[in-house]
Amino acid sequence: MSGVATGSMWLGIDPAALPPQHIRGSDIIRAVLNATQVRRNDLMSPRRTRNIAEARQLAYFFMHHFTSLSLPQIGRMVGGKDHSTVMHGIRRVTMEPEVFGARTALIANELGVKV
């Protein structure tokens, strides 16, 4: 099992057991922007301040788990990032619940998914 799947169990997510979701990437971006108070232009920019980078990482995480988008597609949706950047962001959200837990719950609630 990959580190992402194993690590995401802290959120109660078993990716293999998830039903197909009908959540669009744009819905996830909207929920992330609401939960993090980051502006869309900042999310899509090359800026790397902590709050912006963490908002992007949350978007990567939710898009990976709740859409059928590939890592390169996710990267393109969030400011033209590389697939390896997306992988790092997913791994970080998964492995650092103390940093992301509260915002993850807010986003999940807005999207109507359980994490």
**pLDDT for residue 11:** 59
Q: How confident is the model at residue 115 (pLDDT cuts 50, 70, 90)?
A: confident
* pLDDT over threshold 50, residue 77: yes
Q: Does the domain at residues 3-8+21-111 carry the CATH identifier 3.20.20.70?
A: no
Half-sphere exposure of 50 (CA within 13 A, CB side): 2
pLDDT over 90, % of the chain: 79
Structure-block tokens of residue 85: 């950047």
**pLDDT for residue 22:** 74
Ordered by start, the domain boundaries in the chain are 3-8+21-111
pLDDT over 70, % of the chain: 82
* pLDDT tens digit sequence for 22-66: 799 999 999 999 999 999 999 999 999 999 999 999 999 999 999
**pLDDT for residue 6:** 46
- Read off the pTM: 0.82
